[in-house]
């Protein structure tokens, strides 16, 4: 198993954000986490990447404990996080943003090769490489956030609401990008409010409700589950 969370709990003060969450991410697969607002999806992802401390349980990546490590050490292990809202550096150029993704790397030739790979994948970023990131559209900024994460050369990509606020045609483009990245061997954990999209892309799915895992199973089975369809797919 590439990543495994076992019995995870996270508290914000006296508030239990998530409790007793267990999630497995197999090598080369897309795993999605869906649920309503406040269900604990983003907190779960932030726990995976070391951005929030856990109060219970353990997290392993490639068989090694990573809970308790600072986020920079988690990145060094091979986990990259594309946060909700993109969180690009607005006053930096596109290229400068991308290079921040490789801040832990020392292989100069590899960095240049990966930068070129990102520009091949996202031609619009190449066209705007000298442009300030804040001047780009929401879809372009999302591509930049994904490209920046890829520059760390991850084994696992965590994506938090990549379709948020984007036009349907751009959402379709982002979905294709996720499929292409995964087809090249990169494992993905996808948190999405758009449950229809998430279940179409994923191999396996977890449904969170008020900080607990209410349901899990193969994504196509949950897509056809009457409870999930009524609660999250509007059917």
Most confident of 57-61, 80-84, 119-123, 192-196: 57-61
Range of the domain at 17: 1-69+190-235
Q: What is the predicted pLDDT for the residue at 37?
A: 85
Question: Does 22 map to a domain?
Answer: yes
Question: Does 208 map to a domain?
Answer: yes
What is the rounded average pLDDT of the residues 191-210? 93
Q: What is the predicted pLDDT for the residue at 104?
A: 87
Q: How many residues does the chain have?
A: 235
pLDDT, one tens digit per residue, over 77-102 is 999 999 887 788 889 999 999 999 99
pLDDT at 232 over 80: no
pLDDT at 231 over 90: no
What CATH number does residue 228 fall under? 3.40.50.300
Q: What is the predicted pLDDT for the residue at 220?
A: 94
Name the DSSP letter for residue 135. G
Question: Does 200 map to a domain?
Answer: yes
Cα separation, 56 vs 223, whole angstroms: 31
Question: Does 215 map to a domain?
Answer: yes
Q: What is the predicted pLDDT for the residue at 86?
A: 73
Q: Which helix (H) or strand (E) holds 64?
A: strand 64-65
Question: Does 26 map to a domain?
Answer: yes
Q: What is the predicted pLDDT for the residue at 151?
A: 95
Q: What is the predicted pLDDT for the residue at 234?
A: 67
Question: Does 181 map to a domain?
Answer: no
CB 89 within 8 A of CB 97: yes
Q: What is the predicted pLDDT for the residue at 235?
A: 58
CB atoms within 10 A of CB 224: 12
Question: Does 235 map to a domain?
Answer: yes
pLDDT at 162 over 80: yes
Place of tokens 């590439």: 2
The domain tally of the chain equals: 1
CB atoms within 10 A of CB 43: 23
Q: By percentage, how much of the chain surpasses pLDDT 90?
A: 74
Question: Does 106 map to a domain?
Answer: no
């Amino acid at each position: 198993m590439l990543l495994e969370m076992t019995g995870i709990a996270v508290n914000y003060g006296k508030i239990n954000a998530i409790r007793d969450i267990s999630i497995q991410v197999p090598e080369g697969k897309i795993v999605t986490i869906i649920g309503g607002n406040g269900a604990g999806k983003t907190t779960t992802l932030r726990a995976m990447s070391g951005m929030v401390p856990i109060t219970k349980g353990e997290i392993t990546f490639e068989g090694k404990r990573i809970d308790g490590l600072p986020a920079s050490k988690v990145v060094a292990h091979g986990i990259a996080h594309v946060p909700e809202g993109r969180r690009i550096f607005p006053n930096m150029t596109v290229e400068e943003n991308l290079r921040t993704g490789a801040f832990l790397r020392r292989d100069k030739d590899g960095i240049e090769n990966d930068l070129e790979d990102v520009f091949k994948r996202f031609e619009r970023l190449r066209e705007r490489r000298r442009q300030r990131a804040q001047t780009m559209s929401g879809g372009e900024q999302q591509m930049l956030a994904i490209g920046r994460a890829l520059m760390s050369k991850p084994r696992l990509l965590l994506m938090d609401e990549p379709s948020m606020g984007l036009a349907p045609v751009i959402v379709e483009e982002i979905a294709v990008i996720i499929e292409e990245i995964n087809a090249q061997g990169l494992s993905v954990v996808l948190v999405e409010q758009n449950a229809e999209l998430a279940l179409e892309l994923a191999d396996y799915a977890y449904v969170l409700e008020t900080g607990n895992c209410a349901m899990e199973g193969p994504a196509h089975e949950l897509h056809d589950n009457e409870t999930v369809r009524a609660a999250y797919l509007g059917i």
